[in-house]
Chains A and B, each alone.
Chain A
Amino acid sequence: MKGYRKYFGKKLAWFLITLVVAVILNFVLPRLMPADPVSAITGKMAQGMTDASAVQEIYKRYEEEFGTNKPMIEQFFIFVKNLFRGDLGTSFSQYPRKVSDIISSAIGWTIALQFPAIIVGWLLGNLLGALAAYIRKGFDKVLLPIALFLSNVPAFGMAVTLLVLFAVNLKIAPIGGGYAFDMIPNFSWRFIQSVIAHYQLPFWSIVLVSIGGQAVGMRSMSIYELNADYVKYARFLGIKDHKIVGYVFRNAMLPQVTGLALSIGTMIGGALVAEIIFSYPGLGSTMYSAVTAADYPLISATTLIITIMVLIVTFVLDIVYGFIDPRVKAAQFDA
Chain B
Amino acid sequence: MSKTMLEVNGLTTKYVTRFREDVYAVDHVSLKIEQGKSLGIAGESGCGKSTLALSLMGYYFPPLHYMSGDIIIDGRNISGMNPDDVRKNVLGTEIAYIPQAAMNALNPTRKIYKFIEDVVQAHNPKANKKDIYEMARHRFTELGLPLEALDKYAVELSGGMKQRVVIAISTILKPKVLIADEPSSALDVTSQKMVIKMLRDMMEKGFIQAMIFITHELPLLYNVTDDIMVMYAGQIVERGTAKQMVFDPVHPYSRGLMNSILVPEEGTRDVKLKAIPGTPPNLKKPPAGCRFAERCPYARPACTYNQMPILEFAPGRTYRCGLSVDELREIYRREDEAKGGPHDE
User: A-side interface residues toward B, CB under 8 Å?
Assistant: 228-230, 232-240, 243, 247, 250-251, 254, 325-327, 329-331, 333
Contacts and interface: CB of A to CB of B under 8 A. Distances in A.
B177 to A, nearest CB: 12
Interface in B96-141: 96-97, 99, 101, 104-110, 118-119, 122-123
Nearest to B100: A229
Contacts of A243: 118, 122
A243 to B, nearest CB: 6
Contacts, number: 78
B109 A236 contact: no
A251 B92 CA distance: 24
Main secondary structure of the interface of A (DSSP, over half): helix
B155 A327 contact: yes
A329 B154 CA distance: 12
Contact of A236 (B96, B106, B107): B96
Q: Assign chain B's interface to a size class.
A: 20 to 34
A228 B91 CA distance: 19
A124 B105 CA distance: 30
B336 interface: no
B126 to A, nearest CB: 15
B87 interface: yes
Contact of A237 (B61, B110, B170): B170
B105 A230 contact: yes
B156 A333 contact: yes
A240 B122 contact: yes
Contact of B109 (A234, A254, A331): A254
B169 interface: yes
B107 A234 contact: yes
A153 B244 CA distance: 69
Contacts of B59: 235-236
Nearest to A232: B99
Contacts of A229: 99, 101, 104-105
A262 to B, nearest CB: 20
Contact of B169 (A237, A250, A331): A237
Contacts of A236: 57, 59, 91-92, 96-97, 99
B243 to A, nearest CB: 32
A235 B62 CA distance: 13
Given A230-B106, A238-B93, 11 more contacts: A233-B99, A236-B96, A237-B92, A237-B122, A238-B90, A251-B108, A326-B153, A326-B156, A327-B108, A329-B156, A330-B155
